[in-house]
Amino acid sequence: MSGSLINLIYLIAGILFILGIKGLTKPKTAVRGNFLSALGMLIAVVVTLFTINDVDFTYVLAGVGVGGIVGVVMALRIQMTSMPQMVALLNGFGGGASLSIALAEYVTRTGINPTSVSDFFQPTAVAASAFGEGAEATIALMSISLTVLIGAVTLTGSLVAFSKLQELMKKSYGLPGGPVGNGILLLGALAAVAFLVMNPGNTMAMVAILGLALLLGLFLVMPIGGADMPVVIALLNSYSGIAAALAGFILGNTVLIIAGSLVGTSGLILTRIMCVAMNRSLANVLFGKMAAGGETIDADEIYDGKVTSAQPDEVAMLLETAQRVVIVPGYGMAMAQAQHAVRELADAMESKGVEVEYGIHPVAGRMPGHMNVLLAEAEVPYDKLVEMERINPTFEDTDVVIVIGANDVTNPMARDVEGSPIYGMPILNVDKAKTVVVIKRSLSPGFAGLPNPLFAMDHTLMVYGDGKKAVIEMTTALNQL
């Protein structure tokens, strides 16, 4: 197969990647976008395999078989509510794959033939042309070492994100000095990169890059709270793309550079969008929790004697007479796995002539688009999912808003209380509706640690309990009216 034909096929694969990402920007075209991206990758992989000399297809087929089985089992067994964990884990796999490519290329080019772990700590005589000549050698060594660095950070950072989302890691840990400690790790890793470029045969430098990067990935993500996971997952996704693009430079593979660049840049754009949605800088997400500010806010003073509770059957009577209802899902809906129950409640309301829409905040849940994914699983029509910018102006004309666990993203303090930790964060203005129904287990604060004045407003009704159970009871009562 000629080089021109290979590049043409790679170009087609790249176009499919771009069309796939474009399709993923809208719920209606997301399935088609996913298919186009997968088709592009299949074409790229097949062409690459048949253009490499001395490929033992026994190992290739074994890898495809094992990977395919694992992938199918994960796809069938992982619930949609656990999709954030799945995405975090897959990001880690991507970083680990790029890391493995870089290490294998380094070992191959240096001719290292270790018989024990101690052999990695011994300087190795490297042929002058092992990495090329002049600038070519520098670029090759930079690509290898930076792929190891970014791939290792992605691997351990993603595993920590997975552990936090899966609630395997319930405490936050960090280095002494926080950002300072992480900065020292990063500077140490970059110094090792520079040393390796100047001394290609010094395997100690490669070991240092690997070890420091693995630690950096751990300590970057371990202190970060669960509510910031949408931003972290988007950033780790970008890291995995950047590592893949660098791996493409190492292998001289055009399509891997294209795919990695697309993932890396789209991940960075998404990270920026998520930070804007939270009105926080990326540095604030990575190096600390929501900044403390203003005076301490007493929850008892806000709630004492002002909170009105209601039963599901009382809410059902409100819904029967409503003309327009907006449902605002949050992480509480995901935890209760209430998405199907919510769809059934919406169906019951629509059968009585009620207009129903869903208000979606961009950072609700634990990953970008988390609420969209859950509601899509429950077959909620895409046109019913309305973004924050479009739904906010309609709340004043809404009879009832049903909030399911979305705490900080509906907290009026973000809009009204200057100096509060979340002041300036865009929220869903649910308090503008005629009646607000909040389904929540208790009055406990959200990630920001703030009480929510919404709960104590005169037109707010609190329904305490499990989200799924409460919604089912509302649907039952509504159907009986």
pLDDT at 79: 78
Residue 368 confidence class, pLDDT cut points 50, 70, 90: confident
The position carrying tokens 């033992």 is 56
Q: Which long-range contacts (CB under 8 A, 24 or more apart) does 347-354 make?
A: 348/475, 348/478, 348/479, 349/319, 349/322, 349/325, 349/478, 352/320, 352/478, 353/323, 354/319, 354/322, 354/323, 354/324, 354/325
Q: Report pLDDT for 446.
A: 72
Task: Work out the burial of residue 53: count CB atoms within 10 Å of its CB; fewer than 13 is exposed, 13-18 middle, 19 or more buried.
Answer: exposed
| Res. 253: pLDDT tops 50 | yes
Cβ burial, residue 310 (10 Å; 0-12/13-18/19+): middle
Question: Which are the contacts of 73, defined by CB distance < 8 A and separation ≥ 6?
Answer: none
Q: Which helix (H) or strand (E) holds 461?
A: strand 460-464
Known active-site residue 408: yes
Handedness of CA 360, 364, 367, 371 (dihedral sign): negative
Residue 358 pLDDT greater than 50, yes or no: yes
- Among 166-180, 280-294, 392-406, 407-421, name the most confident range: 392-406
Q: How far apart are CA 211 and CA 397, in angstroms?
A: 57
Point out the catalytic residue in the list 56, 228, 313, 408.
408
Q: Percentage of the chain with pLDDT > 70?
A: 91
- Is the pLDDT assigned to residue 352 strictly greater than 60? yes
Q: Rounded mean pLDDT of 170-186?
A: 79
pLDDT at 395 over 80: yes
Q: What is the pLDDT of residue 121?
A: 63
- Rounded Cα distance between 376 and 224, Å, is 28
**How high does pLDDT run on average in the chain?**
86
**pLDDT value, residue 292:** 43
Residues 337, 405: contact at Cβ < 8 Å? Answer: no
The answer to whether the CB of 343 falls within 8 A of the CB of 356 is no
Assess whether pLDDT exceeds 80 at residue 125. Answer: no
Look at residue 233 and tell me whether its pLDDT is greater than 90: no
Average pLDDT value for residue range 157-183: 81
Q: Under a CB-based contact definition with an 8 Å cutoff, are residues 257 and 248 in contact?
A: yes
**Predicted local confidence at residue 412, as pLDDT:** 92
